[in-house]
Amino acid sequence: MTGRKQIKTRGKISLSRYFQSLKEGDSVAVIQEKSVSSSFPDRLQGRTGVVAEKRGRSYVIKIKEYDKEKKFIIEPIHLKKIKN
């Protein structure tokens, strides 16, 4: 679970993260943005995955869960690119 946001960033949405563009094969970390109200599953918080495709304004992320690979559709504001 994530804690609270810092006082300076409460209520604000980072536009650069909201409009970020990712490519297929990019590694991303799933980090919930508290300012955006969405039904976000807690089990995805802090997980890492790979971008499979872009669907609308969201991205399909492949996350390995135990021995299976699952796909989740997540908005870009909840994703943080990991440098390889």
Question: Cβ neighbours of residue 53 under 8 Å, at least 6 residues apart?
Answer: 24, 59, 60
Please tell me the predicted confidence (pLDDT) of residue 23. 95
Instruction: Indicate the pLDDT class of residue 15, thresholds 50, 70 and 90.
Output: confident
Are 51 and 61 in contact, with CB atoms under 8 Å apart? yes
CATH code of the domain containing 25:
2.30.30.70
Domain extent at residue 21:
7-81
**Residue 2 clears pLDDT 90, i.e. is over it:** no
In a domain, 15, yes or no: yes
Total domain count, the chain: 1
pLDDT higher than threshold 80 for residue 12: no
Per the domain annotation, does 2 fall within a domain? Answer: no
Q: How many residues does the chain have?
A: 84
| pLDDT score at 1 | 52
